[in-house]
Structure 1
Amino acid sequence: QQHGFARNLEWSVGDISDESTSITLKLEDSAETRKMWDHAFELAYTVSLSADGLETKFTVKNTGEEPFSFTGALHSYYSATDVSKAEVIGPFYKAQFLDKTLDPPAMVEDNNEEPLTVTSFIERVYPGIGVNKGMILSDSVNGKALQIRNEEGYEDTVIWNPYGDEAMGANSFICVESGNVMNAVKVGPGKTWVGKLCLSEIPTKLSERFTRVLNMVSV
């Protein structure tokens, strides 16, 4: 299956913290998962909400005796008043990306100096735009901007929107997904991989300044 099996299974509730307003969901290997992926593992997904924003932490632990590899991504759907008026500000200029709208998919260079916008069906994988590569999602209609920070683990960024598909509500969201898509993550026996994503709302003026800084760096 295209998006893996973990999202289709029932996770258990692990820790709940009132102090930091957080919850942890867990999933372990079972006879059912072994039919799809024959490895021993423990997954934990923690979501924490604070005055500073939202933090998600995803861990993959190898509980078996053999190393394994995996790929994956967070399917982050961000609300947009009008997707054609939303902007994703990040280090995309001159970056290589896998354009999955092409047949066959191919690597393409992004030559657009302006922030990324959606005006047609889009499905791109930007390798290497992950950890420590900040991005901002700006909604010019409601004047809000969201800072997206991959602080650990995630190496790639996926941009997706089924533009024009009214049945999917394409005009009301944009996907900016944190993941490891191009290269599989290897986890040795007893080892744990950690992915951390942080979100925080910022003033729109700050996002405009961020755009100017990126343009200066690109030049």
Structure 2
Amino acid sequence: MVERANRPSNLSAPKASAPGPQVDIVGQGGSQKVVATLPSGESVEVLLFGATVTSWKSNGGKTENLWLSEKADLTGSKAVRGGVPVVFPVFGPPPKSGHATSSLPQHGFARSSRWEFLGKSDTEDALDSDSVKLDFGLDRSGLSEDARKAWPLDFGLVYSVTLSKESLQTVITVRNEGEESFEFQFLLHTYFKIQDISKVSVTGLSGTEYVDKVLDATTHQQKDNAIKFTGEVDRVYKAIPQDTTSILEDGKPRFDVIRDNVKDTVTWNPWIEKAKAMGDFSPDDGYKNMVCVEVGAVDGWQKLEKGEVWEGGMLVKSLL
């Protein structure tokens, strides 16, 4: 048998590629949402109305991490009570006059506008099935006529939601598409699902100045390392030096909330009377099973000149 110098090597069968994340668009009209599921079972659901994350399941899909009111409107007719609503371009009631946002409703228009699904981003590794990134977009053309009149500025938003096995990352990119500068605020109004609010504490805000809305918007200093809940809490913590705020249940870490290019955090629980007073908050005692830890840029204003871009958001780790 003649030995050939350039004999081909043995052919090896190609490796079977790992199953990738599944992404589906389900529902119709205002109820349409994007659902992404990892092969290991973790999932996220994003309602196109408001680009609101309404569900995030970790632990192989067994553990729901977000609280959603039983009376949350998921039809695209009003902002969702629960999940992760996107607040832009103003937090809370807008300034009464003299500001570009003064004619807007509380919390702005992002959470009550229909966003466009821009698609699933490819991962760097084609065989990586451990994460999936979903992108959503909103610009002036996607606003209602009333919102365009109230805020007559050209802008572009891209909101990226990245699901991994043990975390959820949500980041917004704001671009000034117009000729004149504008100012804005931004907040991710996240409702975390917990077992018992009386056993919950929030850490990582020690030494930080905050505005207490329950106490007539007076300013205070956080002295204790842990915030505990024995009544209504509505506080805006400003210029937090450390990046991570943690939620503990029964003394055990439950969530790490890591700020990304934002320095402020709101902590909120409506407690008994306020929960009963909100028509879309259900059940009435649902305050026992939720706590809001909301990262954002709400102390003052972010300013963008023509063509400038700003980005900020959070990474949340589920520690179960």
Residue segments in structure 2 that go unaligned for 5+ positions in a row: 1-104, 124-130, 276-282
Spell out, residue by residue over 1:95-124, the C-alpha distance to the aligned partner (whole angstroms, 9 max, x if none): 211011123x1111223x241111110100
CA distance in 2, matches of 1:184, 1:178: 15
2:203 corresponds to: 89
Residues 1:163 and 2:260 are matched in the alignment: no
Q: What amino acid maps onto 2:233 in structure 1?
A: I
After TM superposition, the structure 1 = structure 2 runs for residues 89-168 of structure 1, keeping only pairs within 5 Å, are 89-92=203-206, 94-103=207-216, 105-111=217-223, 113-129=224-240, 132-140=242-250, 143=252, 145-152=254-261, 154-164=262-272, 165=275, 167=284
Spell out, residue by residue over 1:51-71, the C-alpha distance to the aligned partner (whole angstroms, 9 max, x if none): 352111111110001110001
Runs of 4+ in 1 over 3 A off after TM superposition: 17-20
Greater mean deviation of Cα atoms: 44-53 or 7-16: 44-53
- Is the contact between residue 179 and residue 306 of structure 2 (CA under 8 Å) also seen in structure 1? yes
Residues 1:16 and 2:126 are matched in the alignment: no
Residue 89 of structure 1 and its aligned partner are, at CA, apart by 1.1
Matched residue of 1:84: which SS?
helix
Residue segments in structure 1 that go unaligned for 5+ positions in a row: 204-219
- Is the contact between residue 91 and residue 133 of structure 1 (CA under 8 Å) also seen in structure 2? no
CA distance in 2, matches of 1:199, 1:114: 20
1:177 corresponds to: 294
Q: What amino acid maps onto 2:218 in structure 1?
A: A
Q: What amino acid maps onto 1:197 in structure 2?
A: M
Matched residue of 1:47: which SS?
strand
Query: In percent, how many aligned pairs have the same letter?
Result: 33
Matched residue of 1:21: which SS?
strand
- Is the contact between residue 5 and residue 36 of structure 1 (CA under 8 Å) also seen in structure 2? no
Q: 1:60 aligns with which of 174, 178, 191?
A: 174
- Is the contact between residue 79 and residue 172 of structure 1 (CA under 8 Å) also seen in structure 2? yes
User: How has the CA–CA distance of structure 1 residues 163 and 201 changed in structure 2, closer, same or farther, with 3 Å as cutoff?
Assistant: same
Q: What TM-score comes out, normalization by structure 2 length?
A: 0.58
More strand by share: 1
- Is the contact between residue 204 and residue 225 of structure 2 (CA under 8 Å) also seen in structure 1? no
Q: 2:155 aligns with which of 35, 41, 58?
A: 41
1:211 corresponds to: none
Residues 1:192 and 2:296 are matched in the alignment: no
CA distance in 1, matches of 2:148, 2:236: 29
Residue 177 of structure 1 and its aligned partner are, at CA, apart by 0.4
Residue 145 of structure 1 and its aligned partner are, at CA, apart by 1.6
2:108 corresponds to: 4
CA distance in 1, matches of 2:221, 2:294: 19
RMSD between superposed Cα atoms in Å: 1.9
Q: What amino acid maps onto 1:29 in structure 2?
A: R
Which one has the largest radius of gyration? 2
Matched residue of 2:174: which SS?
strand
Matched residue of 2:243: which SS?
coil
Residue 87 of structure 1 and its aligned partner are, at CA, apart by 1.1
Matched residue of 1:22: which SS?
strand
Residue 167 of structure 1 and its aligned partner are, at CA, apart by 2.4
Residues 1:28 and 2:139 are matched in the alignment: yes
More helix by share: 1
Q: What TM-score comes out, normalization by structure 1 length?
A: 0.83
- Is the contact between residue 166 and residue 319 of structure 2 (CA under 8 Å) also seen in structure 1? no
User: How has the CA–CA distance of structure 1 residues 138 and 184 changed in structure 2, closer, same or farther, with 3 Å as cutoff?
Assistant: same
Residue 22 of structure 1 and its aligned partner are, at CA, apart by 1.7
